[in-house]
A and B are shown apart, each in its own frame.
Chain A
Amino acid sequence: MFTPSHFTAVLLFATFASVVFGITQRTEPRAMFKYGLYCWVLFVGSVITASWLMWFIRR
């Protein structure tokens, strides 16, 4: 059984989803890589931002 932490699950999810988004939403390899990276940063960044927001709300 695989029991990752929430953050590890986020990193894995962001990686897999970004690979598919990059390939399917752009035509050129370089643009695919850039868009995939952009999606990955948005996925992970939004989770970190939401986490800090929840932390402040709890305080």
Chain B
Amino acid sequence: MASKAQTPVQPQTQGFVYSALLLGWILPGAGHLITRHWVRAILIFAAITLMFFLGIAMQAKVYTPGTGDPLDLLGFISDIGSGLLYGIARIFSLGQPTVQLVTAEYGTKFVVVAGLLNFIAAVDAHNLRIGRKS
């Protein structure tokens, strides 16, 4: 049976191997940008950034470390997945310390999930960088 000829994936292993992972985490889509996947980078940047700031606009709670509550710690770990966006939210005191509205509950989930999605996107960028994915 004839099989399709498979083009080997060319890994881009020059330089720091984890650059796409780190850049992708710091700025959504940046990991895909350095692996020259422009469209993917723009779509990921737009989706995650919009999700994050729409969450903030819904009066989301932005989690901080050191509250002593394990659930807050999980929320914080998810939030920092957004990298620079989380930093901007903390620096400019965006979001709310507590959830007071129904839409704030939605917003909090938007911010949390934006961070988690960015973790997935950063790992995907890393896979592109090392040639595990094309």
- A: residues with CB less than 8 A from B are 1-4, 6, 9, 12-13, 15-17, 19-21, 23-24, 27, 29
Known: A20-B44, A24-B124. 11 other contacts (CB 8 A): A3-B101, A6-B102, A9-B58, A13-B51, A13-B109, A16-B113, A20-B48, A20-B117, A23-B40, A27-B134, A29-B39
B121 within 8 A of A: yes
Contact A4/B109 with A16-B50, A16-B51, A23-B43 known, Cβ cut-off 8 Å: no
Contacting residues, chain B, for A27 (C-beta < 8 A)? 133-134
Asked if A19 contacts B57 (CB within 8 A), the reply is no
Asked if A17 contacts B103 (CB within 8 A), the reply is no
Shortest CB distance A6–B (Å): 7
Asked if A2 contacts B58 (CB within 8 A), the reply is yes
A-B interface contact total, Cβ < 8 Å = 63
Contacting residues, chain B, for A21 (C-beta < 8 A)? 120
Neighbour of A12 across the interface among B46, B54, B59, B124, CB < 8 A:
B54
Nearest opposing residue in chain A for B59, CB measure: A1
Contact A23/B110 with A2-B103, A16-B47, A16-B50 known, Cβ cut-off 8 Å: no
Contacting residues, chain B, for A19 (C-beta < 8 A)? 43-44, 46-47
B76 within 8 A of A: no
Contacting residues, chain A, for B59 (C-beta < 8 A)? 1
A12 CA to B44 CA, complexed, in Å? 14
B18 within 8 A of A: no
Contacting residues, chain A, for B58 (C-beta < 8 A)? 1-4, 9
